[in-house]
Amino acid sequence: MPNKYKLGVAGNPIEHSLSPFIHSRFAKQEKINLSYMPYRVEPDNFNEFIVDFFSDPLARGLNITLPLKNLAAQIAGNISKEAKHLQAVNTITKIDGALSLDSTDGVGFMEDLRSKKIDIIGKNILILGAGAAVQSILYKLVTGNPNTISILNRSQDKAETLVEKYVEYTSLGSCLKEDIHYDLIINGTSAGLTGEFIAPEGINLSNSTCFYDLNYSLESTPFCSWAKEHSSQVFDGIGMLIYQAAQSFKLWFGEAPSTEYIFQDIQNLNK
Ligand code: NDP
């Protein structure tokens, strides 16, 4: 039996993270002996935690979630171009004693779009929200040749800051364009997983519009429930979660795990 690799996810809150479940399934499938644990870590203790975690010779990697992703970008290590641009890291890998820092959220999101045959080239995209999750997918979206992207956020200044950051790549705006038909509407707000989704007024959409909620839940999210009134192409963020995890796993062990069964395994958690 080979040594048991040590992995985990650090953040706060962390209790409801599906990452331990997903990575344990990947490990079983790929026959890799590992322990993947959730760690509740406060920002003030983050650096100390990282040193302690990786001092174990069996430590191979760590996922980082809220509110630690920006702090993780400050760790000494080889940071990827994307993670550096985002100033956010969700995957740390220890290779030959050195740490590599990556962001796999954007790859996970794009992989999920591909798997659902959602094409963004030449399309008009509306994004609701301008927080960390939106930032992590925006880098990929703006470089994917869409026609336009509109970002709407409760705090207008945050949407404007994002537009300024990426305006060189594509046609970006921080208000709704009522004369444009939106092909893809992405919900990146954390407004809640219960209650009703209140859509901004004046969105030009049709039954050919695709809807994607970065949020996920074993039940339909409020955004997805609203979207289903307009279209049959409605998706939540479970696929993004799985594909970003698969990308982390690939960084740690060199090969992407099969994602064939994990969707059903997660659905079964609800039974
Ligand atoms: P942030 O806290 O960074 O951003 C939250 C965003 O939601 C902000 O734009 C905020 O607006 C907006 N918002 C919050 N409450 C409301 C409200 N009541 N009405 C309107 N807008 C609101 O969170 P993240 O960006 O990190 O996460 C957003 C969601 O994405 C989370 O629910 C998270 O679970 C999900 N996520 C999913 C992933 C996946 O793999 N599928 C990966 C990462 C995140 P304002 O700026 O005005 O505060």
Give the domain CATH number at 83. 3.40.50.10860
Question: How far does the centroid of ligand 1 lie from the alpha carbon of residue 217, in Å?
Answer: 14
Whose alpha carbon is nearest atom 33 of ligand 1? 215
The range of the structural domain enclosing residue 252 comes to 5-104+239-268
**Mean pLDDT, residues 28-46 taken together:** 97
Angle, vertex CA 19, rays to CA 30 and CA 132, nearest 5: 130
Q: Average pLDDT for residues 261-270, to the nearest whole number?
A: 88
Domain CATH number, residue 178: 3.40.50.720
pLDDT of residue 2: 60
Per-residue pLDDT at 270: 72
- The catalytic residue among 6, 69, 123, 140 is 69
| Same domain, residue pair 136 and 212 | yes
Reduce the DSSP state of residue 161 to 3 states and report it: helix
Res. 91 pLDDT band, cuts 50 70 90 = very high
Q: Tell me, yes or no, whether 145 and 191 share the same domain.
A: yes
Query: Are 214 and 264 found together in one domain?
Result: no
Q: Is residue 85 part of a domain?
A: yes
Q: Is 35 exposed, middle or buried (0-12, 13-18, 19+ CB in 10 A)?
A: middle
- CA–CA dist 256, 115 (Å, integer): 15
Residue 27 placed within a domain: yes
Q: Do 216 and 191 belong together in one domain? A: yes
* Strand intervals (E) in 119-197: 124-128, 148-152, 171-173, 184-187
92/16 same-domain check: yes
Question: Taking 70 as the threshold, does the pLDDT of residue 44 lie above it?
Answer: yes
Do 77 and 172 lie in a common domain?
no
State yes or no: is 69 an active-site residue: yes
CA of 114 to the centre of ligand 1 (A): 23
- Do the domain assignments include residue 57? yes
- For tokens 């079983």, the residue is 28
Q: What are φ and ψ of residue 152, in 5° steps?
A: -110, 130
The answer to whether residues 175 and 85 belong to one domain is no
Which structure tokens are listed for 25?
Answer: 């399934």
Is 111 contained in some domain?
no
Kindly state whether residues 151 and 74 are assigned to the same domain: no
Ligand 1 pocket, mutate which of 189, 198, 212 (most atoms under 8 A from CB): 189
Is 59 found in the same domain as 94? yes
Same domain (yes/no): 171, 91: no
Scanning the chain, the segments in alpha helix (DSSP H) are 19-30, 46-54, 69-72, 81-86, 105-115, 132-142, 156-166, 222-227, 238-253, 262-268
84 and 136 belong to one structural domain: no
105 lines ligand 1 (CB under 6 A): yes
Look at residue 114 and tell me if it is in a domain.
no
239 lines ligand 1 (CB under 6 A): no
Count of domains observed in the chain: 2
Give this prediction's pTM.
Answer: 0.94
Instruction: Give pLDDT tens digits for 98-147.
Output: 999 999 999 999 999 999 999 999 999 999 999 989 999 999 999 999 99
> Three-class SS of residue 106?
helix
